[in-house]
Amino acid sequence: MKYSYWIFLLFLSVGMFACKGSKGTTQAPKTESRYDAMAKDMCACMGDFLELVDKLNAFSESGDTEGLMALMPQLEAESQKVEPCVQELETKYPEMQEDNPAEEEKVKASLKEHCPKMYKLLEEQEEG
């Protein structure tokens, strides 16, 4: 089993779509698709973390437990950076917190274009 699945699932449930009740005052710009802006912001927020997940997958696939263990402090440190960033996004994009499959599909389509690594993780998570 890939560790990235669990790590991504943790961030997805904690930050992206699970928290309810945040009220945002800052709105995304109207000049580009709101979904594109959200995807770009999510990618910027998760960028370094996604790079670490790639390394984690490589260690996991090769069976390098020493590499996995050495990577854990970096993952933990990066996760502490990601959490406040995701909270800011929840404020900026309150719809991230809603359970709306149509909205999720639009966000995923934008992620596929603007943040393919995150899109790939979502697809892997859904496949299971």
- The full set of domain ranges for the chain reads 3-11+34-127
- 19 pLDDT band, cuts 50/70/90, is very low
Residue 98 CA to residue 30 CA, distance in Å, equals 20
Inform me whether the pLDDT recorded for 21 exceeds 60. Answer: no
Inform me whether the pLDDT recorded for 11 exceeds 80. Answer: no
Least-confidence region, from 27-31, 81-85, 118-122: 27-31
Residue 124 CA to residue 21 CA, distance in Å, equals 28
**Phi and psi at residue 45, to the nearest 5°:** -70, -40
Inform me whether the pLDDT recorded for 2 exceeds 90. Answer: no
Q: What is the pLDDT of residue 124?
A: 84
Distances from the Cα of 67 to the Cα of 8, 61, 62, angstroms: 19, 11, 10
